[in-house]
Amino acid sequence: MRNIRIAVPVLLACLALTACGQAGTGTSDPATEPGGATVTTSPSQPTPSDAAPPTKGSPSGATTTLTGTITPGVEPGCLLLDGYLLVGGPTDVLRDGARVTVTGRVQPDVMTTCQQGTPFMVESAKTA
């Protein structure tokens, strides 16, 4: 009888932990975020075999162009464009609510205090 009293709670704990491990495994496409941004990707060193059209999203290190409306992040001073956290760039152009076109590179390994968005290192920006 004592073994059953111990086995049942252990079994329930294992089931709960298994369910927690499977929660949140879905992925989201940054192109479905609010703001209606357009993503254009080009390789950093083009070759003749790169004739395929640009795809949504961006591999790390590839030059990417985003166009859309900037939204504020949850932390002060954090600006988002289509799920990307804008890092650097001209502060006179990159403002909340501005419709812009930015060029830069996705850097997912950069640490920030903004708690959201994939870091996007802005190389240039202009109003759209």
Give the alpha-carbon dihedral of 102, 108, 111, 112, to 10 degrees. Answer: 40
Q: Would you give per-residue pLDDT tens digits along the chain (128 residues)?
A: 666 677 777 766 766 666 655 554 444 444 444 556 666 655 544 433 333 333 345 556 789 999 999 999 999 999 999 999 999 999 999 999 999 999 999 999 999 999 999 999 999 999 98
H/E run at residue 39: strand 38-42
Cβ neighbours for 95, distance < 8 A, ≥ 6 positions apart: 70, 79
Domain ranges of the chain: 27-127
The confidence score (pLDDT) of residue 31 equals 46
- pTM, rounded to two decimals: 0.56
The confidence score (pLDDT) of residue 40 equals 60
